[in-house]
Chain A
Amino acid sequence: MSTLVFLEHHGSSIQKGSLGVLSKAAALDPDTSGVIIGSGVGDLASQAASYGAAKVFIADDASLEAPLPQARVDVISKLVRDQGFDAVLFAASVLAADVAGGVSARLDAGLNWDLNDLAMEGGELVGKRAALGDSVYVDAGWTAAPRLGLVRSGSFEPTETSGAGAVENIPVELEDFSSKAVMVEQAHEESSGPSIEDADIIVAGGRGLGAPEGFGILEELAKALGGAVASTRAVVDSGWYPYSTQVGQTGKTVSPKLYVACGISGAIQHKVGMQSSQVIVTVNKDGNAPIFDFSDLGVVGDLHEIVPALTKLVQERKG
């Protein structure tokens, strides 16, 4: 048994999610290696060693500077072929999902995603995943090696544990099509404004609001309930509401006592940021929206009628 973990980095540090998967993998399999792919990334190897990597492969090349997936698929696929890893694990991110999907096709290797736990059963890796909007937990297996796994963010806390961390630099050979997509610009987004992470009650709005003005009725409901207003990536991308209020994979993770989702489809992008809310109430006109799979109370209807009516009832009740 040997395991490889893709160690995603941003700036001068390896991502926390990657280190969490690395320390979990090292606990299950002493023969766990990490691979770091980028430009000028040699110094990151020591971080990998402190989280249990027996070996750290470094692919360091100017062509790997931009965090784009396809060149990484080339590097990882060749490494897996050369070294014969039984398992390759990724911590979910925008980049890692695309890398994992590409490696799966290149190697015809099975990929299980959204894993929230990993175990060894009879010397073989088994993944656990929540399916159908977390309504059922499934043992996810593989019929052959290499076994590819994409782990849901936040599943494993990084645990410091010393690994040998022997460093090996690997050559970089890219396919023609892998460098055709190029990064033109990367803009860093600063998060500012009031925090939604501490709120007990959150009223959140998505594209179903129809227009930026739709947030007005959510602000009134939030005020009546004593809560904060949150949003989705879709409305932030559309410029309707500030990035600081965005819940989801590329925004904030919240776990309030009550989450009222209005006009939100429940894309995984959003779900991973709010699924640990204690109670989820949904209003959406599309009865087929995935959010109904993980709502405690789901209402199929027009939020522009229901939300103001609810606000009025709550105000009356509270006097």
Chain B
Amino acid sequence: MKIAVCVKEVPEAGPNRRIDPATKRMDRSGDKALNAFDLNAVEAALKIKEASGDGEVVLVSMGPAKALESIRKGLAMGADRAVLIADDAAAGSDLVATSYVLATALQRETPDIVLFGQQAGDGDGAVLWAAVADRLKMPVISQIAELDVSGGQVKAKRQTEFGYDTIQAPLPAVLAVSDAVNEPRYPSLKGIMGAKKKQQDVLSLADIGADAGRAGDAGSRTTVGALNPPPSRGGSQKIEDDGTAAEKILEFLMERKFV
């Protein structure tokens, strides 16, 4: 059983995050981490591998070469190796271009299962799996809350606007899991120490046989125009608890007359 997990490095959340007005791209200069929703997908992959008794979990990502630092968290949790497509020509890829590059990278891996988390923490996008599944010509099931893989079949339960669906599909398949599907494990010290030594391939578009004209700006079909400030929420604050957080929240609530 070979399981590919699509993961992404995202900027840390908070009031300091911004879109660079010059490039119209997300400013990725600040602190970064592995997208939190991807941890559920990594955990789901590890569970499937453990239940099947053997197999391989491969992390597949696209981003700058230094994104490996964030991706290593998935290796520390227990994934076997990582493939990162890092190419200047892929920067600024929208859904059309990203799904093309990822699908091209995934085709080389011929996985039985392609896993996604429920959304990217930075772009609010929740459609990538459907685009990748279409390019791979595989069945797709999204928003999965319960997952059962056995006998070459996947059975999944998920919540919709109307109740609960139970959906079944043969492998290979593309699966997007929700944050209800599991509780991601914390990497052990041994896992963290061992992560650096695991195979990590940083590949260019040419390495995977992808057409640079279909990646990055050249391959994208959407644009970002004018940036406008939102209707103000007032000054937004983010604080670390130093033991006085409850007092600070109370002050905040009293200023606004909730207490």
Contacts and interface: CB of A to CB of B under 8 A. Distances in A.
B130 A186 contact: no
B227 A137 contact: yes
A237 B180 contact: yes
A258 B162 CA distance: 28
Contact of B19 (A132, A268, A271, A283): A132
Contacts of B17: 132-133, 135, 293
Interface residues of A, number: 103
Given A104-B95, A104-B96, A181 B140 contact: yes
Contacts of A132: 17-19, 26, 122
Interface in B62-98: 94-96
Most interface-central of B36, B224, B246, B256 (chain A CB within 10 A): B246
Contacts of B41: none
Contact of A301 (B18, B165, B240): B240
A137 B140 CA distance: 32
Contacts of A189: 159, 162-164
B240 A234 contact: no
Interface string A205-238: 0010000000000000000010000000111111
Contact of A298 (B95, B135, B183, B238): B238
B183 to A, nearest CB: 8
Contacts of A158: none
Contacts of B229: 136-137
B57 interface: no
Contacts of B159: 94, 189, 233, 236-237, 250
Interface in B86-129: 94-96, 99-100, 103, 118-119, 121-129
A223 to B, nearest CB: 13
Contacts of B254: 317
Nearest to B159: A250
A300 B229 CA distance: 26
A299 B240 CA distance: 6
Interface stretch (B7-15, B46-54, B191-199, B201-209): B7-15
Contacts of A225: 253, 258-259
- Say which size band chain B's interface belongs to: 35 or more
A175 B137 contact: yes
Given A175-B137, A258-B253, A317 B259 contact: yes
Contacts of B150: none
Contacts of A140: 222-225
B139 A201 contact: no
Most interface-central of A111, A114, A238 (chain B CB within 10 A): A111
Contacts of A300: 238-241
Contacts of A184: 155, 166-168
Nearest to B169: A181
B233 interface: yes
Nearest to A301: B241
B166 A185 contact: yes
A26 interface: no
Contacts of A178: 139
The SS class assigned to the B binding surface is mixed
Contacts of A31: none
Contacts of A38: none
B178 A237 contact: yes
A265 B124 CA distance: 12
A250 B160 contact: yes
A230 to B, nearest CB: 16
Given A141-B225, A237-B145, A101 B130 contact: yes
Interface stretch (A42-50, A52-60, A160-168, A305-313): A305-313
Nearest to A281: B249
Nearest to A249: B161
Interface in A87-127: 93-95, 97-102, 104-106, 108-114, 126
14 contacts: A94-B142, A102-B131, A111-B222, A113-B127, A133-B17, A138-B226, A177-B137, A184-B155, A185-B165, A225-B258, A237-B178, A265-B36, A269-B119, A290-B122
Interface of B: 10, 12-15, 17-19, 26, 33, 36-37, 94-96, 99-100, 103, 118-119, 121-135, 137-143, 145-146, 155, 158-170, 173, 178-180, 183, 220-230, 233-234, 236-241, 245-250, 252-254, 256, 258-259
Given A207-B180, A267-B179, A268-B119, 20 more contacts: A70-B133, A101-B134, A102-B133, A110-B94, A113-B125, A137-B230, A142-B221, A180-B170, A181-B139, A181-B173, A183-B167, A184-B155, A184-B168, A185-B166, A188-B163, A237-B159, A258-B258, A297-B239, A298-B14, A312-B246
Interface of A: 10, 67-70, 73, 93-95, 97-102, 104-106, 108-114, 126, 130-144, 150, 175-178, 180-189, 201, 207, 225, 233-238, 249-250, 257-258, 265, 267-269, 271, 279, 281, 283, 286-302, 305-306, 309-310, 312-314, 317-318
User: Lowest 10 CB-CB distances: which A-B pairs, in order?
Assistant: A301-B241, A110-B221, A101-B130, A139-B225, A101-B127, A237-B180, A309-B246, A105-B131, A110-B222, A181-B139
